[in-house]
């Protein structure tokens, strides 16, 4: 696990965008795994700038998002569909046919989860996966538990995650309690992973992860210690607390 500490959130976002750009230049039809949450917003802003000012080309790029809430309308600003449209896809030249976000409005969700993993495989697998991290160590929506699912799956969100995500909703009752997320195995199959962490609230979990001496399903991000190509980019606040 390569650790890069940046002085602040802006520098973290720029460094992440540089890596994404490098990989996009190496492979024009790259398959990107994308995350939501507040952490990757600066990265997306920088990628939009690179597209607008420097002609970074997304026309051949395919994307797969990590997760989506269950029971949310896609025109609800809190849905991850809406998030991706407004914070990235609307501002770059990506072909919407090549953007995939778990569709939680389907009848047979379990079958759909399997289909999502199959589709990722069919597109050649994820070349570069962007990850944020929950304060409890979740990645995607793989919550700490006695066991973790390998493939894309349906999850019940923990109280801590519902609490953390309630800041985006009018009230905590409106936060969906369930979601579909890529599984740990889906994430681990990505050829390269960048995990971003910013701010004091992520310090405790990052301290544990960076220590790097044990893997446990109670800290889902620790499974990344087994992956051969992970870069963690964090700011001073997340690093030093
Ligand atoms: C959500 C998302 C995760 C994200 C995490 C952290 O629960 N499902 O993919 O990494 O929250 O969010 P933030 O970046 O806002 O701290």
CA angle at residue 22 from 17 to 26, to 5 degrees?
145
CA dihedral (178, 100, 103, 184) in degrees, to 10, reads -40
**pLDDT tens sequence across 110-138:** 999 999 999 999 999 999 999 999 999 99
**CATH top-level class of 2-240:** alpha beta
Ligand 1 neighbours by CB, cut-off 6 Å: 35-39, 66-67, 132-134, 140-141, 161, 165
Sort residue 73 into left (φ over 0), alpha (ψ -120 to 50) or beta.
Answer: beta
pLDDT value, residue 166 = 92
Distance separating alpha carbons of residues 230 and 241, to the nearest angstrom: 22
pLDDT tens column, 149-167: 999 999 999 998 899 889 9
Using a 10 angstrom Cβ sphere, with 0-12 exposed, 13-18 middle and 19 or more buried, the burial of residue 2 is: exposed
- The structural domains of the chain, with segments of one domain joined by +, span 2-240
- Of all helices (H) and strands (E), which one includes residue 154? strand 153-156
SS3 131: strand
- The rounded Å distance from CA 162 to ligand 1 centre is 11
Residue indicated by tokens 């609230």? 201
Using CA atoms, how far residue 19 sits from 34, 75, 129, 194, in Å, is 14, 31, 11, 9
Q: How far is CA 184 from CA 111, 131, 220, 230, in A?
A: 18, 12, 8, 14
pLDDT value of residue 236: 98
In three-state secondary structure terms, 178 is: strand
How many whole angstroms separate alpha carbon 232 and alpha carbon 207? Answer: 12
Assess contact for 157 and 179: CB atoms under 8 A: yes
Give the residue, out of 39, 134, 143, 200, with the most ligand 1 atoms within 8 A of its beta carbon, to mutate for a pocket test: 134
Question: Among 79, 138, 237, which is best to mutate for testing ligand 1, by the most ligand atoms less than 8 A from CB?
Answer: 138
Map tokens 């230049």 to a residue. Answer: 25
Q: What average pLDDT score do residues 7-33 get?
A: 98
User: pTM score > 0.85 for this model?
Assistant: yes
Q: What is the pLDDT of residues 173-188, one digit of tens each?
A: 999 999 999 999 999 9
The set of catalytic residues is 67, 136, 138, 143
Rounded to whole angstroms, the Cα distance separating 99 from 6 reads: 30
As a residue count, the chain comes to 241
């Amino acid at each position: 696990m390569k650790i890069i500490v940046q002085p602040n959130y802006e520098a973290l976002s720029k460094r992440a965008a540089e890596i994404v750009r490098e990989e996009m230049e190496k492979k024009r039809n790259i398959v990107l795994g994308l995350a939501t949450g507040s952490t990757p917003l600066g990265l997306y802003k920088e990628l939009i700038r690179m597209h607008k000012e420097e002609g970074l080309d997304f026309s051949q790029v395919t994307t797969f998002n990590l997760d989506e809430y269950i029971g949310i309308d896609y025109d609800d600003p809190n849905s991850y569909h809406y998030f991706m449209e407004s914070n990235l896809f609307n501002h770059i030249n990506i072909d919407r046919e090549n953007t995939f976000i778990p569709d939680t409005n389907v009848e047979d969700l379990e079958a759909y989860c399997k289909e999502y993993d199959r589709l990722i495989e069919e597109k050649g697998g994820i070349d570069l996966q962007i990850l944020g991290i929950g304060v409890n160590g979740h990645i995607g929506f793989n919550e700490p538990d006695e066991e973790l699912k390998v493939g894309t799956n349906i999850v019940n969100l923990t109280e801590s995650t519902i609490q953390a995500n309630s800041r985006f909703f009018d009230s905590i009752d409106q936060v969906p309690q369930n979601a579909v997320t890529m599984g740990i195995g889906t994430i681990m199959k990505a050829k390269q992973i960048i995990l971003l962490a910013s701010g004091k609230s992520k310090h405790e979990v990052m301290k544990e992860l960076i220590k790097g001496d044990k893997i446990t399903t109670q800290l889902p991000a620790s499974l990344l210690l087994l992956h051969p190509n992970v870069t963690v980019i964090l700011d001073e606040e997340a690093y030093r607390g």
